[in-house]
Chains A and B, each alone.
Chain A
Amino acid sequence: DIVMTQSPDSLTVSLGERATINCKSSQSVLYSSNNKNYLAWYQQKPGQPPKLLIYWASTRESGVPDRFSGSGSGTDFTLTISSLQAEDVAVYYCQQYYSSEYTFGQGTKLEIK
């Protein structure tokens, strides 16, 4: 199985500041035939199902604010929130869908300072 490891486990950021979450996969999730990274980011707020934010490592889902961005390739990825808003308090997960057995990172809890 591909193991996904996120860092940090929790993060406290001031309103309006940048938040950065990292995700590392135990093997590359870059598919050479199409040059796509099979990596997604999800946001989950308490009592709600996960919400897709980013797919193919850097493509923003429709309706997701442009303060959310994804970057990286191969085994190292980053989710950046450029200017933290109060409604961004949530747990964030990365997920690989490169292998048939999808796996999630352990999650990063984002809070307001």
Chain B
Amino acid sequence: EVQLVESGGGLVQPGGSLRLSCAASGFIFSSYNMNWVRQAPGKGLEWISCIRSSSSAMFYADSVRGRFTISRDDARNSLYLQMNSLRAEDTAVYYCAREQGSGSYQNYWGQGTLVTVSS
């Protein structure tokens, strides 16, 4: 059974940093592209980043480019999101999601972890 479990969320002050993790199981993690998608309270879904298998390429939404860094550790079956220079508008539930194939739809999602940016 495919499982994705996010962790690392919490309360952080504006300008601060946070690192999110996503532990994957039930599939060959190294073979799949992985994504981060976020959802601000009461708002819609926003795709923010993708990392391809073998870390061959990374992509970012304009809203986070230059502040967030996506990475993966295939030996640990883990996905990460390093978030720097956090702003109030980064407050959201952050989901990790697995793509079915390269450059494809996301068919497995974690339950999400809440990040709150506030003083």
Contact = CB atoms under 8 A, between A and B. Distances in A.
B27 interface: no
Interface in B57-87: 57, 59-62
A102 B107 CA distance: 14
A52 interface: yes
Interface residues of A, number: 23
B91 interface: no
A97 B103 CA distance: 6
B50 to A, nearest CB: 7
Chain B: number of interface residues, binned into ranges: 20 to 34
B56 interface: no
Interface stretch (A19-27, A71-79, A81-89, A103-111): A103-111
Contacts of A106: 44
Contacts of A44: 45
Given A38-B103, A100-B57, A104-B46, 4 more contacts: A55-B104, A101-B47, A101-B59, A104-B44
Which 9 A-B pairs give the minimum distances between C-beta atoms? A49-B109, A40-B105, A107-B44, A55-B105, A102-B47, A104-B45, A100-B59, A52-B107, A106-B44
